[in-house]
Structure 1
Amino acid sequence: MTRATIEAYYAAFNAGDANGMLACLTDDIEHRVNEGGVRRGKELFAEFCSHMGVSYREQLKDMVIFANDEGTRGAAEFVVHGEYLMTDPGLPEARGQTYILPAGAFFDLRDGKISRVTTFYNLRDWIAQVSA
């Protein structure tokens, strides 16, 4: 079930379906983003998805998903293929730049839903790509 939940979460991501992603989460989701703070709860996660949908267009490819036998922990490794659409405050100016960025995420799951997602990527690599 752990792998299936993570697969459904990322299928919704690739489809641009924020509601599908939210359906995979517990109400008290803890969302930790690379070089950022912690968001708690579905409302803050939905706000993040809305912001990301305006600033970026991304597809995750070459996905590999791992899960423990207990179904409580998981991880995913993938490559982000993206386009930078609208300038994100504090980051370089957006001009429709494209980027390809290795990334990964770690998950806690409870009752078949994701209760924590922590995402990692190399921000310096991304900045170099969109600044070129």
Structure 2
Amino acid sequence: MSGKTQNAESAEALVKQYFAAFNVGDVDGMLACLADDVAHDVNQGGRRTGKTQFAEFCAHMSRCYRENLTDIAVMTSLDGARASAEFTVNGTYLADDEGLPPASGQTYCLPAGTFFEIADGKIARVTTYYNLNDWIGQVGGGQ
């Protein structure tokens, strides 16, 4: 994931643009922030590569979950090549997701974080982490 980097301020603006699109359900807006060959690593899952696989993931998530991110704190490297964000996920579990407890509209609130690699003014890697056991406990699957 080589390529020209940008400065910390533009990296921060790009990440904030990505999260703003997420929070209004604007998948096209999220995709506009991504490199064509974006690497997308999801907690408890494998790597997806490219905008098509990212969009498919977003469609699945929209079917199963409604989420809004709050308390977003973005941090960037001085050269703008990397960024991270810590935030709170406020969600509703809408439809059963494979291998997880049944959905019945349960709500949840949990801390999460995402790491970004940025090149040529686009997000080249998105890696998200959260505590899956905490989420399972909140939706009633932990007991």
TM-score (norm 1): 0.99
Q: Which amino acid aligns with 1:29?
A: V
The answer to whether structure 1 residue 97 and structure 2 residue 106 are counterparts is: yes
Residue matched to 1:21: 30
- Give 2:39's match in structure 1, choosing from 26, 30, 44: 30
Is 1:58 aligned with 2:67? yes
> Which aligned runs of 4 or more in structure 1 are off by greater than 3 angstroms?
none
Partner in structure 2 of residue 88 of structure 1: 97
Aligned partners of 1:19, 1:131: CA distance in 2, in Å? 33
Query: What is the TM-score of this pair, normalised by structure 2?
Result: 0.91
Tell me the C-alpha RMSD between the 2 structures: 0.6
Listed as ranges, the gaps of 5+ residues in structure 2 are 1-9
CA distance in 1, matches of 2:107, 2:69: 13
One-letter identity of the residue aligned with 1:33: V
For residue 115 of structure 1, the aligned residue among 109, 114, 124 is 124
Whichever structure has more strand as a proportion of its residues is 1
Q: CA deviation at 1:112?
A: 1.1
Mark the runs of 5 or more structure 1 residues left unpaired by the alignment. Answer: none
TM-superposed deviation, 1:131: 1.0
